[in-house]
């Protein structure tokens, strides 16, 4: 298929989190730069998310933000509705799309709503959007954005200024993420440092720590489609967490740079889809074990020991949910229990 003029694409991955998703979308459509194409991927939600997102696009459902919240102006008052929606279905087994694909991506005043037929996890969900772009012969920058984020009005413009003319450079880009409920405090300065002898990562908080940046956080990661052509799709062996660490580690070993656009701001609610309890601890531990075994095999016995010690620490702290989650993750890693909580 003939490749057409490059555009700017934004991919938002939703799973059972339509209230946060529509707030994120509202902030995008209130951005000062409206020259983008939006792809919303619903990762087989069980809460009827596509119907609620469709109602929002029709102007029948408004974002709910507390009246005194400091970021209310980023998503309220609402943009003019209705917004045009292209609805597609993605069959992961056959890697095929069905639905209304006529004039897909022809108008920036519409967005695509892709419903996946099973939960593919984070990497699989964003890969479905990359597959759609590939099948349509589209090239350009792709910005992956978590649904539990809200975007500053000038962020898209800031991204385009920094990346202009750098389409073919070997760079993966990030933004600066702030706490949604404390907008003056940095959550991530682009990403994090991967600890080498202990299972885990340390979030970076400022430009002085850029030399420690090991990966760009997947909640606001930006790359060009030519990067995907070079490095391939995101690794789907991780259902949740550590997939962006894997991708950026692979990229760095092949000569890529990681850059942060410091005037591109997003505000993160933190774990809006999965929460912060058993599921988060389970997937964070399991995916991290997979990562360390893959990239640091000689250090892996020490890493595994630190995970075992974490069980004892959580027990002493009476975090029994965490104890069960870590033990279940270790068992899944060793093949003694299923490695999936969501189907």
Q: Answer whether residue 221 shows pLDDT above 70.
A: yes
Is 112 in contact with 99 (CB distance < 8 Å)? no
pTM over 0.85: yes
Q: Answer whether residue 242 shows pLDDT above 90.
A: yes
What value does the mean pLDDT take over residues 298-312? 96
Strand partners, 91: 96
- CA gap 105, 139 in Å, rounded: 12
Higher pLDDT, 3 or 196: 196
Tell me the three state secondary structure of residue 207: helix
Query: Mean pLDDT lowest for which of 13-17, 32-36, 187-191, 276-280?
Result: 276-280
Residues 6+ apart with CB under 8 A from 253: none
Q: What is the pLDDT of residue 1?
A: 35
The burial class, CB within 10 Å (0-12 / 13-18 / 19+), for 276 is: exposed
What value does the mean pLDDT take over residues 198-211? 92
Q: What is the pLDDT of residue 210?
A: 85
Q: Where are the alpha helices (DSSP H) in the chain?
A: 18-29, 49-57, 121-135, 155-163, 225-231, 243-253, 278-295, 300-316, 320-333
Residues 6+ apart with CB under 8 A from 119: 15, 43, 44, 342, 343
- CA gap 249, 229 in Å, rounded: 17
Q: Answer whether residue 273 shows pLDDT above 60.
A: no
Q: Name the band, by pLDDT with cuts 50, 70 and 90, for residue 269.
A: very high
Tell me the pLDDT tens digit for each residue of 227-236.
999 999 999 9
Q: What is the mean pLDDT of the chain?
A: 93
Q: What is the pLDDT of residue 99?
A: 84
Tell me the pLDDT tens digit for each residue of 246-267.
999 999 999 999 999 999 999 9
What value does the mean pLDDT take over residues 145-150? 96
- CA gap 88, 97 in Å, rounded: 6
Query: Mean pLDDT lowest for which of 55-69, 96-110, 202-216?
Result: 96-110
Q: Answer whether residue 109 shows pLDDT above 90.
A: no
Q: What is the pLDDT of residue 102?
A: 67
Q: Of all residues in the chain, what percent carry a pLDDT higher than 90? A: 88
Residues 6+ apart with CB under 8 A from 318: none
Higher pLDDT, 1 or 242: 242
Tell me the pLDDT tens digit for each residue of 159-195.
999 999 999 999 999 999 999 999 999 999 999 999 9
Q: Answer whether residue 223 shows pLDDT above 80.
A: yes
Domains of the chain: 7-268 (3.90.550.10), 278-333 (no CATH)
DSSP 287: H
Tell me the pLDDT tens digit for each residue of 125-136.
999 999 999 999
Q: What is the pLDDT of residue 3?
A: 45
Q: What is the pLDDT of residue 247?
A: 98
Q: What is the pLDDT of residue 270?
A: 84
Q: What is the pLDDT of residue 343?
A: 52
Q: What is the pLDDT of residue 5?
A: 62
Q: What is the pLDDT of residue 69?
A: 96
* Cis peptide leading into residue 77 (ω within 30°): yes
Q: What is the pLDDT of residue 161?
A: 97
């Amino acid at each position: 298929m003939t490749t057409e003029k490059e555009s700017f694409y934004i991919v938002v991955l939703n799973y059972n989190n339509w209230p946060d998703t529509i707030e994120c979308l509202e902030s995008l459509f209130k951005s000062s730069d409206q020259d983008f194409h939006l792809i919303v991927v619903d990762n087989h939600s069980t809460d009827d998310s596509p119907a609620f997102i469709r109602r929002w696009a029709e102007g029948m459902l408004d974002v709910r933000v507390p009246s005194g919240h400091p970021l209310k102006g980023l998503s309220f008052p609402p943009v003019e509705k209705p917004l045009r929606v292209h609805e597609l279905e993605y069959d992961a087994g056959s890697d095929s799309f069905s639905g209304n694909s006529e004039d897909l991506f022809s108008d920036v005043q519409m967005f695509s709503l892709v419903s996946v037929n099973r939960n593919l996890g984070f990497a699989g969900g964003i890969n479905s959007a990359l597959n759609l772009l590939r099948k349509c012969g589209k090239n350009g920058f792709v910005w992956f954005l978590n649904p539990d984020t809200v975007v500053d009005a000038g962020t898209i413009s800031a991204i385009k200024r920094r990346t202009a003319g750098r389409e073919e450079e070997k760079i993966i880009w990030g933004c600066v993420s702030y706490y949604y409920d404390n907008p003056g405090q940095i959550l991530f300065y682009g990403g994090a440092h991967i600890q080498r002898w202990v299972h885990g990562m340390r979030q970076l908080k400022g430009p002085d720590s850029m030399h420690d940046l090991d990966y760009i956080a997947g909640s606001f990661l930006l790359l060009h489609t030519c990067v995907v052509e070079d490095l391939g799709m995101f690794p789907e062996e991780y259902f949740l967490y550590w997939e962006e660490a894997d991708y950026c580690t692979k990229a760095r070993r092949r000569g890529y740079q990681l850059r942060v656009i410091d005037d591109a701001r997003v505000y993160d609610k933190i774990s809006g889809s999965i929460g912060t309890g058993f599921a988060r601890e389970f997937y964070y531990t399991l995916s991290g074990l997979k990562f360390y075994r893959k990239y640091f095999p000689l250090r892996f016995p020490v890493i595994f020991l630190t995970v075992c010690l974490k069980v004892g620490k959580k027990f002493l702290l009476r975090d029994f949910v965490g104890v069960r989650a870590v033990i279940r993750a270790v068992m899944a890693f060793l093949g003694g229990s299923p490695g999936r909580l969501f189907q």
